[in-house]
Structure 1
Amino acid sequence: MTNIVNEYMDEKGESPYADWLAELRDARAKAKIMIQVDRMELGLFGDTMPIGDGLSELKIHYGPGYRVYYGKDGEQIYLLLCGGDKSSQKKDIKQAKLNWQEYKRRN
């Protein structure tokens, strides 16, 4: 069975994940991140680690150590909350948790 991977949209209709990805200048990094997210739909999550509050961190082993933060909403729906790299990990985890709380409040 295929998973559904969606982007979290804030109250303004913007996706912090898409904004972050669009700002990346490294085309190879973008491709690696997008491929790994596509693999999530097939159930192939790669190097993932729980970060608390029902959220997880997907590690992409390339460049500065890119991360994608996501939550699971239902049986097979995964929500991309935001992204970052190892240097901004603490800030990104905090933002992912805030985004998740805001999403849960609205849904």
Structure 2
Amino acid sequence: MGRLREVKNLSAKAAVLARINRVMNGNLGDHKSIGNGLYEMRIIKGSGYRVYYGQYREVTYLLICGGDKSTQKSDIVKARELWKEIKQQEEVKV
């Protein structure tokens, strides 16, 4: 998450990193579907951070995309574009 470097609030940054670590252990926590196998994890800290991930054929992909509530709409657009690319690459492998 390139934008994570830009987060100045250290406790918020720690919360995002802790959340990503929990996801790696199978605990998705507070999240919701935004359609087509794509999900938004919500981290209620600081500006309300979001991290996007997708699930496809029993595999979970953490997307290199996220932001806070103020950039949510554009972040979702970017996440959908990345997700489309990932799924197309997976289809080629089959």
TM-score clears 0.5: yes
Corresponding residue number in structure 1 for 2:39:
56
Runs of 4+ residues deviating >4 angstroms: none
TM-score (norm 2): 0.84
Question: Match of 1:106?
Answer: 89
The residue correspondences of 1:1-107 to structure 2 (distance < 5 A) are 17=1, 19-107=2-90
Gaps of 5+ in 1: 1-16
Structure 1 position 76, deviation (Å): 4.2
- Percent same amino acid among aligned pairs? 46
Counting helix residues as a fraction of each chain, which structure ranks higher? 2
Q: Report 1 or 2 for greater relative contact order, CA contacts < 8 Å, sequence distance ≥ 6.
A: 1
Question: C-alpha distance in 2, partners of 1:48/1:103?
Answer: 20
Separation (CA, whole Å) in 2 of partners of 1:61 and 1:74: 29
Q: What is the aligned residue count?
A: 90
The 3-state SS of whatever aligns with 1:90 is helix
Please report the TM-score for the alignment, with normalisation by the length of structure 1. Answer: 0.75
Measured after TM superposition, the shift of residue 37 of structure 1 is 0.8
- The CA distance in 1 between the partners of 2:32 and 2:60, in whole Å, is 17
Across the aligned residues of Structure 1 and Structure 2, the Cα RMSD in angstroms comes to 1.5
Deviations 1:23-73 (A, max 9, x none): 212221111001011111222111100001210000000111100011124
